[in-house]
């Protein structure tokens, strides 16, 4: 079972926003802070769904900017399904435009994101969204290395097999990851951005023992607030569905041991100021 976060996160984050920036601890030596999201499912604004009516892209931008200013975000990643699961092209193009200004470093291409076909993804690339797709050929890079704080973080983006997607070529997740690793890229931490099933994620860990550090987007089980678990010492984590929370992983490196992780979840509450640029963009549509 996914371990769920507690209600205390909303209070903690509101207090964080109230603190002066010089009182907020930034990253330490040999540490990288990863902020992640996933399963936005095409939402522009919060659905106001109980029990936690959080979310909305204008509010997410406020939270992300606050984390970056306070040194609490070195890498910003999304594990996919940022578009809707049914065709609403005008709204999904708006999501794409907003994602281009949220400041992501790497975004996986998920099942929802293939709904319109490869040509639509090319439109999104024109918005400079840093898409990757390791096992479905789209014209985007298959992987990405981000160098920060003296470390190399390797990202791969995987998706399950899809039907009726013209001009796409599917490779099994295992074969795609093997191809990435055979290229001999040096890395300090391998993070999989996954839109695979739980069994497929576990199979990757079994097939590549000791190679994978973190899998984000672990299986079909969704959580309103986010959650995590371990499988054979690999961290599996999901953010709050539809942008309700962002995940935060502090990755700590040492000379003799594998990376260690500290994970928490940050709400995207509606009682903070929405980003004015994103808000303006939404209202213009």
Contact 81, 42 (CB under 8 A): no
Strand pairing report for 136-137 and 131-132: unpaired
Closest C-alpha to 187, from 135, 217, 150: 150
Strand 106-108, strand 75-78: pairing: parallel
Does the pLDDT value for residue 135 go beyond 60? Answer: yes
103 DSSP 8-state letter: T
pLDDT in tens, 100-130: 999 999 999 999 999 888 888 888 878 889 9
E strands, the chain, in order: 3-4, 31-37, 75-78, 106-108, 131-132, 136-137, 143-148, 151-159, 169-170, 189-195, 214-216, 226-231, 234-239, 245-252, 260-267
Cβ atoms of 112 and 84 closer than 8 Å: yes
The 10s digit of each residue's pLDDT in 43-65 is 999 877 777 778 999 999 999 99
Predicted pLDDT of residue 261: 95
Distance CA 129, CA 54 (A): 24
Tens of pLDDT along 3-33? 544 433 444 454 455 444 433 444 466 899 9
Q: How many C-beta atoms surround the C-beta of residue 37 within 10 A? A: 31
Q: What is the mean pLDDT of residues 134-157?
A: 93
Instruction: Tell me what pLDDT residue 221 has.
Output: 53
Is 203 exposed, middle or buried, given 0-12, 13-18 or 19+ CB atoms closer than 10 A?
middle
Non-local (6+) Cβ contacts of 97 within 8 A are 127, 281
Question: Which of these, 191, 244, 192, 241, lies nearest to 221 by C-alpha position?
Answer: 241
**CA angle (151 as vertex; 147, 157 as ends), nearest 5:** 60
Residue 224 in contact with residue 6, Cβ under 8 Å? Answer: no
CATH code for the part of the protein at 28-284 = 3.60.21.10
pLDDT tens-digit readout, 228-245: 999 999 999 999 888 899
Tokens 């940050």 correspond to 266
pLDDT tens digits for range 164-182: 676 678 899 999 999 999 9
What is the per-residue pLDDT across 258-285, written as a single tens digit (0 to 9) for each?
Answer: 899 999 999 999 999 999 999 999 998 7
Burial of 204 (0-12, 13-18, 19+ CB in 10 A): buried
Residues 6+ apart with CB under 8 A from 6: none
Question: In b/e form, how buried is each residue of 221-257, taking b as 16+ CB within 10 angstroms?
Answer: eebbbbbbeebeebbbbbbbbbbbbbbbbbbebeeee
At 167 the pLDDT is 66
Q: What is the pLDDT of residue 121?
A: 86
Which pLDDT score, from 0 to 100, does residue 161 have? 86
User: Higher pLDDT residue, 77 or 89?
Assistant: 77
Domain map (residue ranges) of the chain? 28-284
pLDDT at 19: 40
- Rounded to a whole number of angstroms, the CA Rg of the chain reads 18
pLDDT at 184: 79
Give yes or no for residue 155 having a pLDDT over 90. yes
CB 246 within 8 A of CB 68: no
| 131's tokens | 């898409």
């Amino acid at each position: 079972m996914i371990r769920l976060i507690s209600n205390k996160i909303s209070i903690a984050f509101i207090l964080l926003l109230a603190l002066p920036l010089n009182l907020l601890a930034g990253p330490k030596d040999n540490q990288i802070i990863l902020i992640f999201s996933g399963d936005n499912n095409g939402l522009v604004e919060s659905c106001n769904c109980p029990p936690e009516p959080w979310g909305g892209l204008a509010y997410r931008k406020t939270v992300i900017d606050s984390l970056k200013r306070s040194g609490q975000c070195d890498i910003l990643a999304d594990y996919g399904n940022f578009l809707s699961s049914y065709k609403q092209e005008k709204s999904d193009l708006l999501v794409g435009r907003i994602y281009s200004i949220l400041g992501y470093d790497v975004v996986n291409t998920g099942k929802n994101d293939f709904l319109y076909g490869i040509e639509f993804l090319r439109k999104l690339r024109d918005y400079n969204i840093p898409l990757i797709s390791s096992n479905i050929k789209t014209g985007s890079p298959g992987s990405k290395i981000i160098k920060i704080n003296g470390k190399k973080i390797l990202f791969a983006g995987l998706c399950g097999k899809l039907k009726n997607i013209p001009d796409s070529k599917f490779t099994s997740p295992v074969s795609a990851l093997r191809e990435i690793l055979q290229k001999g890229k040096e890395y300090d931490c391998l993070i999989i951005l996954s839109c695979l099933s739980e069994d497929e994620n576990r199979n990757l860990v079994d097939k590549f023992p000791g190679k994978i550090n973190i899998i984000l987007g672990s299986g079909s089980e969704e959580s309103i607030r986010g959650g995590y678990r371990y499988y054979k010492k690999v961290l599996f984590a999901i953010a709050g569905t539809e942008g309700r929370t962002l995940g935060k992983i502090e990755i700590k490196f040492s000379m003799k041991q594998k990376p260690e992780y500290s994970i928490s979840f940050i709400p995207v509450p509606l009682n903070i100021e929405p980003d004015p640029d994103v808000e303006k963009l939404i209202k213009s549509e």
